[in-house]
């Protein structure tokens, strides 16, 4: 293998010679759709089987591009690919949850700088997502209102934690932010999945993701290591209490300090956050990249 060889580059022999955006099966998949069928068992350890899938979503053929440097039009292609793949996977009888996410940055263990995200199709609903679903369902039952619609209304009225707004989406640092500069993007309209996006919502989602990514990358002058998580309704059934949103967990406390998940976070599930949501929101709101197309970033090493 030549040094700097990347399987995601056109010409690598692993992907087509030309592509715009691409679904690439993960070489080290935790789930596969043809694994042993699901066999419920009783006993100390319950098993769910491993029927599902792990995709890599290649955002762009160019290796040394930060996600914030993709054009809005190109992000739109990623959004459309998310929805298309979600539809395919959710139609599979074994798939219970389609989890679309991205890990970016060496600081959080990503060894491949090529711009990409991932899609896991789970044969069960992952525990943190189940907990969020349960809380949202409880609120809906007790208050006859979607909790996300209530939060959105309050955040817009309050204004101090807003980061940016577009026609169809609102980005803010939540009151309950756990990560320094955590942002959530809520759809203004109440719907549950990427497959429910209208044409203009899909373009607008591309626009706000690009904008938030640029703000993050301009904050300290280098691509922000982060996790980007799409929160959607489960693949099966109706979930009127749930509301589509995108969460960003940046891992940088400052230009030189990382946020680590240590004993209190990992062992007790309690996040220590030494930043104030309103201050971080102001910082991010006022970080205005000069041009949407030419952010002038340091690139990832090629």
Q: Which of 77, 87, 190, 299 binds Zn ion (CB under 5 A)?
A: 190
* Neighbouring C-beta atoms of residue 62, cutoff 10 Å: 14
* Contacting Zn ion within 103-122 (CB under 5 A): 114
Q: How far apart are CA 256 and CA 20, in angstroms?
A: 34
100 beta partners: 119
Displacement of CA 59 from its chain's centroid (Å): 13
> Residue 148 interacts with Zn ion (CB under 5 A)?
yes
Bridge pairing between strands 226-231 and 22-25: unpaired
> Residue 186 interacts with Zn ion (CB under 5 A)?
no
Q: How far apart are CA 185 and CA 204, in angstroms?
A: 11
> Residue 33 interacts with Zn ion (CB under 5 A)?
no
Our CB check for Zn ion shows the closer of 153 and 298 to be: 153
Q: How far apart are CA 271 and CA 263, in angstroms?
A: 10
| Catalytic pick among 114, 116, 218, 243 | 116
The answer to whether 33 and 92 have CB atoms below 8 angstroms apart is yes
74 in catalytic set: no
Q: Which of 83, 146, 156, 162 binds Zn ion (CB under 5 A)?
A: 146
* Contacting Zn ion within 208-267 (CB under 5 A): 243
How is residue 109 annotated by DSSP? T
Q: Which of 51, 63, 161, 259 binds Zn ion (CB under 5 A)?
A: 63
Our CB check for Zn ion shows the closer of 120 and 148 to be: 148
Minimum distance, C-beta of residue 116 to Zn ion, in the bound complex (Å): 9
Which residues form the interface with Zn ion (CB under 5 A)?
A: 6, 8-9, 63, 114, 146, 148-149, 190, 243
Residues annotated as catalytic (active site), given as ranges = 116
């Amino acid at each position: 293998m030549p040094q700097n060889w990347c399987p995601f580059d056109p010409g690598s022999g692993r992907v087509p010679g030309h592509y715009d955006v691409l679904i690439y099966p993960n070489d080290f998949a935790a789930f596969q759709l043809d694994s042993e069928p699901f066999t419920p068992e009783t006993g100390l350890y319950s098993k769910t089987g491993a029927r599902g899938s792990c995709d890599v979503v290649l955002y762009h053929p160019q290796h040394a591009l930060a996600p914030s440097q993709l054009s809005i039009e190109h992000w739109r292609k990623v959004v459309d690919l998310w929805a298309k793949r979600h539809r395919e996977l959710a139609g599979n009888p074994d798939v219970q949850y389609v989890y679309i996410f991205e890990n970016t940055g060496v600081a959080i263990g990503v060894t491949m700088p090529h711009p990409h995200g991932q899609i896991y199709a789970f044969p069960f609903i992952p525990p943190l997502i189940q907990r969020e679903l349960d809380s949202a369902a409880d609120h809906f039952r007790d208050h006859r209102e979607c909790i996300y619609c209530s939060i959105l209304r309050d955040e817009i009225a309050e204004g101090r934690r807003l980061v940016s707004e577009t026609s169809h989406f609102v980005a803010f640092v939540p009151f309950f932010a756990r990560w320094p500069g955590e942002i959530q993007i809520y759809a203004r309209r109440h719907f549950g999945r990427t497959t429910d996006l209208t044409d203009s919502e899909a373009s607008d989602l591309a626009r706000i993701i690009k904008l938030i990514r640029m703000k993050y990358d301009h904050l300290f002058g280098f691509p922000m290591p982060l996790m980007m998580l799409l929160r959607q309704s489960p693949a099966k059934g109706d979930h009127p209490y749930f509301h589509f949103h995108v969460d960003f967990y940046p891992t940088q406390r400052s230009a030189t300090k990382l946020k680590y998940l240590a004993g209190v976070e990992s062992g007790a599930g309690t996040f220590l956050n030494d930043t104030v949501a309103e201050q971080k929101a102001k910082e991010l709101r006022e970080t205005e990249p000069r041009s949407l197309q030419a952010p002038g970033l340091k690139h990832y090493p090629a």
